[in-house]
Structure 1
Amino acid sequence: MPKGFFQVPKAVNEPVKSYAPNSPEKAAVLAAYKKMWNETIEVPLYIGSQQIKTNNTKNMTAPHDHQHIVGTYHVADKTHVDLAISTALAARKEWSQMPWEHRASIFLKAAELIAGPYRAKINAATMIAQSKNIYQAEIDASCELIDFLRYNVEFMTQIYTDQPKSVSDIWNRVEYRPLEGFVYAITPFNFTAIAANLPASAALMGNTVVWKPSDSQVFSAKIIIDVFKEAGVPDGVINIVFGDAAMISDIVFSHPDFAGVHYTGSTHVFKEIFKKIGK
């Protein structure tokens, strides 16, 4: 057991790089962009320790050049969704019992990886997958995501330190437990930072996650997955399935251990989600 009250590093906003002509950061992103543009990748499902390839794949293209294929991704069926759920539930006990400071260190490391060796990659992937310019990608995929990961940890400690007052002869204490089940993260196509933050913030608080990225954001989601793996997110904590949103959601919402949904997207879709959960 820990023998100390730990203070996490003070969160500060990540400085936005200028990407001025002939700057090293611009050269790094353009080199990463060229490499990614000229190769094709294959993205499997990520469920526990498995990288699953199915008999059903779809192409990934850039919005600014629909004819150019940058890769393929594997599409989940019902059995894969069921496996993702059971894997998340199996990982829940160990992950929820991990000391909070260890969970925090994993996502702080993810922030450092994005700020450093993955910065050019994640910016270039966002430029390709979401057709953002270099400055828009920097603000979204790098700076905003780094800020999310760092401030999430700081806000987690604020939540944990929020305790009730005690009176004479009574010591009141509160433990903030993860949800009893798994969390379903449904993420949007247009912001790489939000796509990463919805599963990451739930996992930080001790939850295990089934993550359904947007089909048009799989290319940059792959970089997020690589970062989480390298940062030390254990197998089974964040499980990624691609494919038909309605099919995946129907299976998730009907599962008895579905505990919560983390969603960013249109109001119309949110109302449909709210309606399905209510039924």
Structure 2
Amino acid sequence: MWPPYGILVRAESSELAIRATSRLHSQDIKQLQCILSVLIHCIGCPKWSYKGVFIRLSFFSLHIFHWNMLRVRSAFYQSWRGFRTFPCAAVEVKNEPILGFNEGSPERAELQKALDDLKGKTEEIPCVVGDEHVWTKDIRYQLSPFNHSHKLAKFCYADKELLNKAILASVAARREWDLKPIQDRAQVLFKAADIISGPKRAEILAKTMIGQGKTVVQAEIDAAAELIDFFRFNAKHAVELESQQPLDSDGSTNTMLYRGLEGFIAAVAPFNFTAIGGNLAGTPALMGNVVLWKPSDTAMSASYAVYNVLRDSGLPTNIIQFVPADGPVFGDTITSSEHLAGINFTGSVPTFKRLWKQVAQNLDVYKNFPRVAGECGGKNFHFVHKSADVQSVVTGTIRSAFEYGGQKCSACSRMYVPDSLWPQIKQGLLDIHKQLKVGDPVEDWSTFFSAVIDDKSFARIKKWLDHAKSSPKLNIIAGGHCNDKKGYFVEPTIIESTDPQEAIMAEEIFGPVLSVYVYPENDYLEVLHLIDNTSPYALTGAVFALDKNVVNEAAKALRNAAGNYYVNDKSTGSIVAQQPFGGARASGTNDKPGGPHYVLRWTSPQVVKATHVPLREWKYSYMG
């Protein structure tokens, strides 16, 4: 029996895809080389290989991936559904390098030009359903957080009628999209990643900086590196997933098909990471689903840029509908539709609970049980043991608590310090605090962080600052002031609490506010228990200790206190494929986007058994 060989050569930039499968004798390498040479000649590639090499050519990069030999039975039994699968054993993808933007660098010049192009301008952003750009009467504006007189974007809210139209159009397009080979769907994300890495990088960074108040480095690690990584690694995981096949038995073969969900996915995105919005919508689409993407009002410009990149990368009409909307209107509409198949959410606990309750109340309406995935923030901790490296604690805490104004889901908001180290750590924090610059990240690149996102966030944080000023249990040792005349600026604030159960030690603030509890150094075991039980959240946390026994004790005590747990490192900075992100308890469903199994959340697998030996006898042998 000659084993089958599969060959796939793809040129992204020309949208050329050539596939061939040939049944060749395993020793007949020359014939296999010939086929490969012909295929590669068609796209002008000087490289060729054999024995299962998957070559992906991009305008920006060349990737060579080893993949499994196609089994004839697999291709045959999947072709009846319109599938041609090319199981991939290993797709080589690396994390996107973070650019430095140093003075005189080409990336800095490109970004500065993009920033200059946006100054004083207002982009018009419609709802997009299919290829139709729709404007409703409900007009809104995205304001720059550090200069709220600048209307960066004008957009409109989709009403219930338009949302239902989008749902029906998506559902009608779902089957054809789901039947496409995963390699075709993955190519959309691979190409989008290359475009963001190249010609669209500066534009998306600039819109993230101005629209969401990020410094250049915070925009770079979000809207470039993380978004690119989400697209590339999820595409990699999706392609490799098809190599995970069940066992065969004598006389029959078994195939696992990774279908999309029957219905539509609602993607509800936050303001604080451009990458999260792209992932919430892009990954379900990758897996054969159709998506209604509700971008955040305060991340509209960057989100629309990402959506346009996906469309320019070959995403068909009606697969992702771009529908800004009022939160309750969107929630009520999607949860009342019989076609709801899932919700992919990042945002507040009250909103997520509301959506979950609405789904529960409408279970009799749906054709399927909807998948509900959510990430809801946290009250993230830094625990410091007396054996900790003081400088590491100080610098790590400054970055974790105050980068992006404490508006990362993973930002450190509470710290527990032994009394023996507190004088050193306190002085270290105060010394750096004096140097932190809060301002306009576009005009002054030495700005450490900028304004908080909007007036609602500013008002919420101000209430906490007022609470700290009036509480006898709290002492503001740095910062504490805020001003919203030009932008929504809040000083980096450090508060010492004499009560570890004080509300400021337990509730999420989502701003540049760090609360500190100083404990007797020998009571660290009690403090670990305190950390585990003080807050309803369990997203991120960090333990600073050089004593290995303490590190082990803390790991056991805090096993359920954080989904992302750091030892001698800050609580922020998770990287796709290195530290998949998410937490449990009130922090969410802990589905770990950025990990290899995240794509499974958005599939509905089907197993196909094909029997090749007809069944002739109804009796079992023992029956005589």
TM-score (structure 1 length as normaliser): 0.96
Letter in 2 for 1:25: E
Residues 103-252 of structure 1: matches in 2 within 5 Å? Answer: 103-252=185-334
Letter in 2 for 1:189: F
Is 1:29 the counterpart of 2:108? The answer is no
Which deviates more from structure 2 when the two are superposed, residues 51-60 or residues 230-239? 51-60
Letter in 1 for 2:125: V
Work out the CA distance in 1 between the residues paired with 2:252 and 2:325.
53
Work out the CA distance in 1 between the residues paired with 2:277 and 2:233.
16
Poorly superposed stretches of 4+, deviation over 6 Å: none
For the 8 Å contact 1:125–1:220, the answer to whether it is kept is yes
Work out the CA distance in 1 between the residues paired with 2:128 and 2:277.
15
Work out the CA distance in 2 between the residues paired with 1:241 and 1:177.
25
For the 8 Å contact 2:153–2:300, the answer to whether it is kept is no
Give the deviation of 1:100 after TM superposition. 1.5
Residues 49-88 of structure 1: matches in 2 within 5 Å? Answer: 49-88=131-170
Give the deviation of 1:248 after TM superposition. 1.0
Which deviates more from structure 2 when the two are superposed, residues 71-80 or residues 111-120? 71-80
Work out the CA distance in 1 between the residues paired with 2:151 and 2:342.
35
For the 8 Å contact 2:120–2:150, the answer to whether it is kept is no
The match for 2:182 is 100
Work out the CA distance in 2 between the residues paired with 1:170 and 1:152.
32
Deviations 1:41-97 (A, max 9, x none): 100001001011122211111111111112200111111111110111111121111
Letter in 2 for 1:122: I
Computed over aligned residues only, the root mean square deviation of the Cα atoms, in angstroms, reads: 1.5
Letter in 1 for 2:197: A
Give the deviation of 1:159 after TM superposition. 2.2
Work out the CA distance in 1 between the residues paired with 2:153 and 2:186.
33
Considering Cα pairs closer than 8 Å and 6+ residues apart, tell me whether 1 or 2 has the greater RCO. 1
Unaligned 5+ runs, structure 2 = 1-17, 22-69, 71-85, 362-624
Deviations 1:192-236 (A, max 9, x none): 000111110000001011111111111111111220121111110
Fraction of identical pairs, as percent: 37
Work out the CA distance in 1 between the residues paired with 2:250 and 2:181.
30
Structure ID, larger Rg: 2
The match for 2:55 is none
- Name the SS for the 1:174 alignment partner: strand
Give the deviation of 1:2 after TM superposition. 5.1
Work out the CA distance in 1 between the residues paired with 2:271 and 2:296.
5
Work out the CA distance in 2 between the residues paired with 1:23 and 1:2.
41
Between structures 1 and 2, the one with greater helix share = 1
The match for 1:19 is 101
Work out the CA distance in 2 between the residues paired with 1:153 and 1:40.
34
Unaligned 5+ runs, structure 1 = none
For the 8 Å contact 1:84–1:240, the answer to whether it is kept is no
Q: How many residues align?
A: 279
Work out the CA distance in 1 between the residues paired with 2:347 and 2:138.
26
Work out the CA distance in 1 between the residues paired with 2:209 and 2:152.
12
Q: 1:24 to 1:2 in 2, by over 3 A?
A: closer
Is 1:46 the counterpart of 2:115? The answer is no
Work out the CA distance in 1 between the residues paired with 2:147 and 2:252.
66
- Name the SS for the 2:242 alignment partner: helix
Select which of 151, 168, 171 maps to 1:89.
171
Is 1:258 the counterpart of 2:354? The answer is no
